Amino acid sequence: MYIELKDISKSIRKTEVLSNINLRLESGKVYGLKGKNGCGKTMLMRVICGLIKPTNGTVDYNGVVLWRDIDVPKSIGALIENPSFIPGYTGYENLELLSSIKGKTSEEEICDVMIKVGLEPYDKRKYRKYSLGMKQKLGIACAVMGEPEVIVLDEPINAIDEAGVELVRELLEELKKKDKLIIIACHDADEMNVLADEVIQMEKGHII
């Protein structure tokens, strides 16, 4: 499985946020996006997920072009910016509701993925009572639940404790071995070096 971005550009209200991005991403690797704040990492992730349409260029998923052949990538999990869930449901209930849309994830798999990120599946607390780190962990669990082919994580280790970071590392390693294509953005240079196989440096909407 591969993702190929050809000549991707995006302007929002006359401001060019992405400019002539050309990338080929292969499965079985972890790609790290690195760059200053506002360089376009999150925008690029949004383009890959199909949440925004590029002004120019194409996003090719294994020969299937996004916005031409399909609207949304067939198998993708994403955590972009702040995680958002239903405040009145528990973490498990939120994941169960989302998994019911595709119907591929069993109860055991949901529990398993929550444990892997360091959350208690049968915790009765509602999402609104979660700490920031717990919300972030739930966001990661949501993105990797069902083991999609492409996983996009924007600042996954934000607000997570050391033990949690270790768990996330192990999880990403496991998914890499299962031939998944993982894209992460991270400000921590050391963490990026550990997690990512290939680092993509961005600046002002370009890849350098």
Partner 1 sequence: MRKLVKYDLRNGWHNTYYKIGIFVLVIVVINIIGVNSIKMVIDNNKINADILDYICFVLGGPRYIPEGMFSMYVIPVLWLLIQVGISYTIGYYAMNDLHAYGQQVLLRSSSRAKWWISKIVWNVTMVSLLYVIIFIVTIVSAQIAGCKWDWELTTDIARDVCNIDMIAGKSQEILIVLMVMPLLTSITLSLIQMVLALILSPMIGFIVVQSIVILSTIYAKKWLISNYAMLSHNKITCASDIKYTDGIVINVILCLAAFVIGLCYFQRCDILPKNEEV
User: What is the closest distance, in whole angstroms, from the C-beta atom of residue 43 to partner 1 in the complex?
Assistant: 9
Residue (25 or 78) nearer to partner 1, CB: 78
Among 23, 29, 58, 98, binds partner 1 (CB under 8 A): 98
Contact 27, 2 (CB under 8 A): yes
For partner 1, what does the binding mask look like between residues 142 and 161, x meaning CB under 8 A? x-------------------
Closest CB 71 distance from partner 1, rounded Å: 4
Q: Which of 24, 102, 125, 178 contacts partner 1 by CB under 8 A?
A: 102
Please, what is the minimum distance in Å from the beta carbon of residue 83 to partner 1?
9
Is 179 one of the binding residues for partner 1 (CB under 8 A)?
no
Report 22-81 residues binding partner 1 (CB under 8 A): 46, 49-53, 70-74, 76-78, 80-81
Contact set with partner 1 (CB under 8 A): 12, 46, 49-53, 70-74, 76-78, 80-81, 84-86, 88, 94, 97-98, 100-103, 142
